[in-house]
Amino acid sequence: MGNKNYHFDTKRIHAGYSAEEHLNAVNTPIYQTAAFDLGDIDRARRLWTGSENGGIYTRVGNPTVSVLEQRIAELDGGTAAIGVASGMAAITYAILLLGEGGGNIISASSLYGAAQESLTNFFPKFGITTKFVKNREDVNEYEALIDDNTKAIYLESISNPNIEVYDFEAIAQVAHKHGIPVVVDNTIATPYLFRPFEYGADIIIYSATKGISGHGNTIAGIVVEKGDFVYSKERFPQFHTKSYKMRDLEGNPRTPLELAPNFPFVASLRTFYLEFIGATLGAFDAFLVLQGLSTLSERLEKQVATTKKLIEYLENKKEVEWVRHPFAKDSQYKELADKYFPNGAGAVFSFGFGGTREQLKTFIKSLEVLSYHVNIGDVRTLIANPPETTHSELEPQLQELAGIPGNLVRISVGLENAEDLIGDLEQAFEKAFRE
Ligand SMILES: *Cc1c(COP(=O)(O)O)cnc(C)c1O
């Protein structure tokens, strides 16, 4: 796309792709191959030392996946991105890389269930612990938890399922003052609604399973690097350590910063994590994500508008105790949402069901348009009860810390007609509360 400063809507369709490089195919081809012909042994040496770009083996790179990586990097304004097999693989790779050799992460305690659970109980097995911030709005609390062994501040830009919004700029300022990068899971917002690098984030994580692909038909993850964070030798020796695996054409070992001064994070993930752990994104899955991405703006625009209508409807139901989303009348996040999410804080929200478990069972069972399954960011409107599903792996005290009451119901708004959705909810309320 040259160096032109095209708008978001143009880039989400064209960035990272040039038809001339792909036999003039207009749509990104699916390179469904495990390996690539190396040509001759000099070329092989150039490929292995990164002095020539080209396919080697799909575990560490594939042309279809590359288009997605470049497109997302451009949309977010980063220097590089890497596609992986799932959002959880993206989170795990980022945390393991930052925490190499051990350390701690400071995190908001309202996270995607599996992220919160792994930070709490899984990463400690690898010497990486997490200190959860209780008052997520209080920047001082993040700062007070930072120590010499802190490796990152980890946040979700729109938290799931509580739709909390934080003061990203203030948090990033504190992190950078102490030489610590900020990692933001931007899954619910997508780069259409929020671009974390513009507010101080250093690494972005996506579950591309959700809004970015948008059709509920694939599992995919992406890590994006902003490229200007200064990793100190003391806190982050991994980016200053020479390895033969990163050697130059003459066979001299190099550090990630020497190999890729503008994207040492993504280069390390590709060279070590994809190579050794291998949670690779397949070409066909990358194709599906690219396909979905090309309609991202229109989908989000309509989903946000429908979210507003559903929230207005639910706020007037006596069977609904509260609604959590910056669109809700009494939301405490209105000011922050206006600043950071001028196009709306996403199309996922939760509400408090004002009935018994038995009534909730009837309510969900009676829905005909809304679908009961645990995904978000789909063309279908989805309803779930996180306390017994997505967040059920959290022990009761973790659920309390994450602010998830037992009657919380989450909705991820799809692309159906808004009146049909409201009508569906209405008839289900009637059935559930019929005495
Ligand atoms: C779904 C989700 C993930 C995990 O993504 P997978 O693709 O399912 O592995 C991570 N973060 C958030 C916010 C999510 O919604």
All residues at 6 or more sequence positions from 273 whose CB lies less than 8 Å from its CB, including other chains = 93, 96, 97, 279
Question: What DSSP letter does each residue of 332-383 carry, written as one string?
Answer: TTHHHHHHH-TT-S-SEEEEEE-S-HHHHHHHHHH-SSSEESS--S-SS-EE
Our answer on whether the CB atom of 160 is closer than 6 Å to any ligand 1 atom is yes
Our answer on whether the CB atom of 94 is closer than 6 Å to any ligand 1 atom is no
- Least trusted range by pLDDT, from 108-122, 142-156, 257-271: 108-122
The span from the CA of 327 to the CA of 320, in Å, is 15
Calculate mean pLDDT across residues 343-359. 96
Reported confidence tier of residue 399, pLDDT bands at 50, 70, 90: confident
Of ligand 1's atoms, which has the minimum distance to the CA of residue 219?
7
Tokens of residue 109, six digits: 């305690």
Ligand 1 centroid from CA 386, angstroms: 14
Reported confidence tier of residue 207, pLDDT bands at 50, 70, 90: very high
Ligand 1 centroid from CA 223, angstroms: 12
Mutation test residue for ligand 1: of 84, 112, 375, the one with most atoms within 8 Å of CB: 112
| Cα end-to-end span (Å), the chain | 62
Whether residue 1 is predicted with pLDDT greater than 70 in this model: the reply is: no
Nearest CA to ligand 1 atom 4: 87
- Least trusted range by pLDDT, from 36-40, 85-89, 221-225, 431-435: 431-435
Whether residue 259 is predicted with pLDDT greater than 80 in this model: the reply is: yes
Ligand 1 centroid from CA 85, angstroms: 11
**How high is the pLDDT of residue 7?**
96
Nearest CA to ligand 1 atom 2: 207
- Least trusted range by pLDDT, from 100-114, 256-270, 301-315: 100-114
Of ligand 1's atoms, which has the minimum distance to the CA of residue 156?
13
**How high is the pLDDT of residue 70?**
98
Of ligand 1's atoms, which has the minimum distance to the CA of residue 89?
9
What is the separation of C-alpha 147 from the centre of its chain, rounded to a whole number of angstroms?
A: 26
Helices (H), 151-217: 168-177, 190-193
Q: In the predicted model, what is the mean pLDDT of the chain?
A: 95
Amino acid identity at 252: N
401 phi-psi bin (left φ>0, alpha ψ -120 to 50, beta other): alpha
Our answer on whether the CB atom of 112 is closer than 6 Å to any ligand 1 atom is yes
Our answer on whether the CB atom of 210 is closer than 6 Å to any ligand 1 atom is yes
Whether residue 241 is predicted with pLDDT greater than 70 in this model: the reply is: yes
- Least trusted range by pLDDT, from 47-51, 67-71, 160-164, 220-224: 160-164
Q: Using one digit for the tens of pLDDT, what is the confidence trace for 260-276? A: 999 999 999 999 999 99
**How high is the pLDDT of residue 155?**
95
Whether residue 388 is predicted with pLDDT greater than 90 in this model: the reply is: no
Reported confidence tier of residue 389, pLDDT bands at 50, 70, 90: confident
Reported confidence tier of residue 165, pLDDT bands at 50, 70, 90: very high
Ligand 1 centroid from CA 48, angstroms: 33
Whether residue 113 is predicted with pLDDT greater than 90 in this model: the reply is: no
Q: Using one digit for the tens of pLDDT, what is the confidence trace for 176-189? A: 999 999 999 999 99
Q: Using one digit for the tens of pLDDT, what is the confidence trace for 3-14? A: 578 999 999 999
Reported confidence tier of residue 397, pLDDT bands at 50, 70, 90: confident
Mutation test residue for ligand 1: of 157, 210, 213, the one with most atoms within 8 Å of CB: 210
**How high is the pLDDT of residue 3?**
58
Reported confidence tier of residue 392, pLDDT bands at 50, 70, 90: confident
Ligand 1 centroid from CA 84, angstroms: 12
The span from the CA of 369 to the CA of 32, in Å, is 36
Our answer on whether the CB atom of 255 is closer than 6 Å to any ligand 1 atom is no
Q: Is 389 exposed, middle or buried (0-12, 13-18, 19+ CB in 10 A)?
A: middle
Ligand 1 centroid from CA 207, angstroms: 5
Of ligand 1's atoms, which has the minimum distance to the CA of residue 160?
13
Whether residue 35 is predicted with pLDDT greater than 90 in this model: the reply is: yes
Contact 244, 67 (CB under 8 A): no
Reported confidence tier of residue 63, pLDDT bands at 50, 70, 90: very high
Our answer on whether the CB atom of 162 is closer than 6 Å to any ligand 1 atom is no
Ligand 1 centroid from CA 40, angstroms: 41
